[in-house]
Chain A
């Protein structure tokens, strides 16, 4: 199942498939034509993916076949010991975590979990964590601090779950507490936005010293649909809202909210998960090697204090 803007690619694919079928006849000579079309196809895909609009990027970031945290864990770490539960209420499968080993680095990994099948998605609540998910993440981050391990956090969520029980158990408090704990955590935090960076649900585990972002991921204060229905009074204006909110990696790099973009393979992470995972692994290793622990919490606070700092000389509104 392709995305709408991939239609031209699908048409080419159909032609290639058709020619390949005809080419089975020993008298047919379509080899050159097939090779030409294949080249055209990969050139077209490169073109499409290097010119995605903000809204198209949202579609890629939400692609059901995009690698999930389980794929990243499997592809990046030689060992993963999953740790469960928040010690208060339960074990939320929307945020998972545990000890992990990346070459010689021992780390604590936490991250949102989405599923690829309906069954998996129901179990993971489509990546929308409840308070116990954030509290589990907090517990694991404190454990990382105690054991002197860096935290790697993987962000991929539409947002924190908006439900009655979530409110009753203090969704707001859980996220707020995590932000306060992360402000004071004396161990490095490296965050990767792998898919959807959905508002408070994302920052709730995403207050990294270094924030990396995949090139077709998005990170926003509100979903484009939500913003459109409030400010445009029409949810269908989501493409406009997506553009206005500046949610793509290049915009966020310019705004100083992320530190580095990890390039995805030409057709997006879902087209070649192994390549995407390898790229994330390389970036993590590079940062793990060079990140300093010195006064790390104070530097983290300084980093976030500087975002959106008021500059007097600018044109006042």
Chain B
């Protein structure tokens, strides 16, 4: 074999740009992927907190190997036999399941947070926009019941556009249902901490997400009741900059603290220590 011939088999596999770099969706900076992952998908340049999946969040907050999922079999129910212009709810739900590997827009369970046993519900925006379907509401309600039964502090991490239109009124009824679960915790003196992440709006912000003993938000998260477009159409004027952000809510007195992602676990642990079981 001539010295000038290339040995094709020995050539390293080409590495695509996408595999090495991540582009921040806020400041468009190119971040080395390893750095991106190790920072919990927070941009080191601008501090933008990228949305996390439910399992990424759980892994970040719960001690390794201690999380046990409950009610994992609960999934979508098509109460209305809903069909819109783009197809049926059944098909949409199926797509969401395939895309995310989840059966609903929330993962619930229990585990340890710096050694302290807690019950938890973590929403996943990728599943139909984290919308509050009957399965979502049921899982959150049952997780609050689990927390009540075992006297565990309850944490919900919200990420949701609000109600799930495809389930119509049944979706709306998940608001009182989840709040009924939270009310029982309040009465039993069991902590309920609400963590609001980007975005938390509509029927989720107007139910369990806003009534934590402590409401915590991630920096820059969109949090509000009505959609920006709806408000603009109603009042016929542009919205002020920074409207409906975590910082706006802090200023108006609706959240207790804005906590960066990398400090969230410690913050939760430190606050929960003030509870006497």
Contact = CB atoms under 8 A, between A and B. Distances in A.
B134 A304 contact: no
A54 to B, nearest CB: 11
Nearest to B138: A310
Interface size class of A (residues with CB under 8 A): 35 or more
B153 to A, nearest CB: 17
Given A162-B230, A163-B235, A203 B172 contact: yes
A304 B177 contact: yes
Interface in B140-162: 141
Given A257-B170, A308-B174, A171 B226 contact: yes
A103 B74 CA distance: 48
Specify which of A164, A172, A173, A183 lies most central, judged by the most chain B CB atoms within 10 Å of its CB. Answer: A172
B169 to A, nearest CB: 5
Contact of B138 (A179, A219, A232, A309): A309
Contacts of B244: 167
A176 interface: yes
B225 interface: yes
A312 B90 contact: no
Main secondary structure of the interface of A (DSSP, over half): helix
Contact of B85 (A164, A199, A222, A233): A233
Contacts of A3: none
Interface stretch (B1-9, B62-70, B110-118, B207-215): B207-215
B239 A176 contact: no
Interface in A218-245: 219-222, 226-227, 230-234, 237, 240-241, 244-245
Contacts of A237: 85
A307 B85 contact: no
B175 A179 contact: yes
B163 interface: yes
Contacts of B86: 231
Contact of B137 (A220, A234, A308): A308
Interface string A155-190: 000001111101111111101110111111000000
A231 B75 contact: no
Contacts of A292: none
A316 B77 CA distance: 7
A301 interface: yes
A176 B165 contact: no
B83 interface: yes
A245 B78 contact: no
A200 B180 contact: no
Interface size class of B (residues with CB under 8 A): 35 or more
Nearest to B234: A162
Contacts of B84: 231-232, 240-241, 244
A207 interface: yes
Given A164-B239, A166-B226, A246-B168, A308 B77 contact: yes
Contacts of A142: none
Interface in B216-266: 223-227, 230-231, 234-235, 239-240, 243-244, 248, 252-254
B21 to A, nearest CB: 34
B169 A247 contact: yes
Contacts of A230: 165
Interface in A287-317: 300-301, 304-305, 307-312, 314, 316-317
Contacts of B177: 304-305, 307-308
A184 B184 CA distance: 8
A309 B248 CA distance: 36
B173 A257 contact: yes
B135 interface: yes
A300 B234 contact: no
A171 B175 CA distance: 14
B184 A301 contact: yes
B44 interface: no
A200 B203 contact: yes
B183 A301 contact: yes
A255 interface: yes
Contact of A168 (B85, B141, B168, B252): B252
Interface in B41-59: none
Contacts of B235: 163-164
B135 A203 contact: no
Nearest to A169: B252
A307 B135 CA distance: 11
Contact of B211 (A177, A204, A247): A177
B169 A252 contact: yes
Interface in B70-113: 73-80, 82-86, 90, 93-94, 97
B85 A310 contact: no
A2 B97 CA distance: 48
B158 to A, nearest CB: 11
Interface of B: 73-80, 82-86, 90, 93-94, 97, 134-135, 137-138, 141, 163, 165-177, 179-184, 186-187, 201-203, 205-211, 223-227, 230-231, 234-235, 239-240, 243-244, 248, 252-254
Given A172-B254, A245-B169, A308-B137, 12 more contacts: A161-B234, A162-B231, A164-B231, A172-B205, A173-B211, A175-B175, A179-B179, A200-B203, A203-B175, A230-B165, A233-B85, A308-B173
7 contacts: A162-B234, A167-B231, A176-B210, A183-B179, A308-B134, A308-B174, A308-B177
